[in-house]
Amino acid sequence: MSVKNTYPIQCPKCQAEMEVELYDSINVTEAPALRDELMANQLNAVQCPHCDFAFRVDKRLLYNDPENRVMVFWFPGNEADYRSNKEEFIASMEALNTSLPDEFDPPSVHLVFTRSELVERIFLLEADLNERIIEYIKYMMYSRNSEKLDPKTKAILFNTEDSTDESLCFVVQDLQSMKLEGMLEFDRSAYDDLVEMFDSDAKTAHLMELFPGPYISARELFMQEA
Ligand SMILES: [Zn+2]
């Protein structure tokens, strides 16, 4: 089930106050049109009745696709909070899991902080790729290009659209301007090798230790090390 609630908001252009209905959670197995809205940047979009200004409200959102076992929780702009209140985040994610009915075997909930990360994670899970291995690849990319790719200012995002059977495609995003700046490729056969390499108890444990979750991110790993 998708859940909508009424929120008081202010138009960023004319400052008019208004009450609007916004989604708290969407179930895209039941309502695939909501996935399309999200991808088209139209989910929780508002048009001001006073000045006609169109804008998008970025708020907490649970993206749920039970058919594909994809669950992603988007906490816009809370990355710094996460670093200082990690336990609180973990507790609220656990509360979310336990509030689900007993007979429901929930997939693990993914945590993201930007809309780009949300879209990236949805595509990645739909493509049956392992999010920890993808972040491990990004970790290697940061390490090998430390002069050009500073994890503080550059995000690396997996790009499904330009990925092929031969190579996985990644784009570099500048976190200040949010502009996409460059493209990086990674052989799919090397990804398959990593999947195989990490498929042992000891190696899996190492990967889990690097990316324990709920926020699985190579950038985060560098930020914590810094
Ligand atoms: Zn307005």
Does 202 map to a domain?
yes
The domain tally of the chain equals: 1
pLDDT tens digits, one per residue of 162-182? 999 999 999 999 988 989 999
Residue-level pLDDT at 91: 81
Give the integer Cα–Cα distance in Å for 116 and 126: 16
The token pair at 213 is: 């979750």
Three-state DSSP at 40 gives: coil
**Model-level pTM greater than 0.85?**
yes
Amino acid at 81: D
Give the integer Cα–Cα distance in Å for 117 and 155: 9
The token pair at 200 is: 């042992």
The token pair at 64 is: 């749920």
Does 9 map to a domain?
no
Lowest mean pLDDT among 60-64, 135-139, 200-204: 200-204
Does 44 map to a domain?
no
| Contact (Cβ atoms closer than 8 angstroms) between residue 26 and residue 2 | yes
Ligand 1 is an ion; residues with CB less than 5 A from it: 11, 13-14, 16, 48, 50-51, 53
pLDDT tens digits, one per residue of 17-66? 999 999 999 999 999 999 999 999 999 999 999 999 999 999 999 999 98
Does 139 map to a domain?
yes
9 C-alpha to ligand 1 centroid (Å) = 11
Does 8 map to a domain?
no
The token pair at 206 is: 């190492």
Write out the residue range of the structural domain in which residue 129 sits: 60-225
Does 70 map to a domain?
yes
| Contact (Cβ atoms closer than 8 angstroms) between residue 106 and residue 71 | yes
213 C-alpha to ligand 1 centroid (Å) = 40
Residue-level pLDDT at 103: 60
19 C-alpha to ligand 1 centroid (Å) = 12
Residue-level pLDDT at 150: 94
45 C-alpha to ligand 1 centroid (Å) = 13
Phi, psi of 97 (to 5 degrees): -65, -40
pLDDT band at 214 (very low <50, low <70, confident <90, very high): confident
Give the integer Cα–Cα distance in Å for 211 and 203: 12
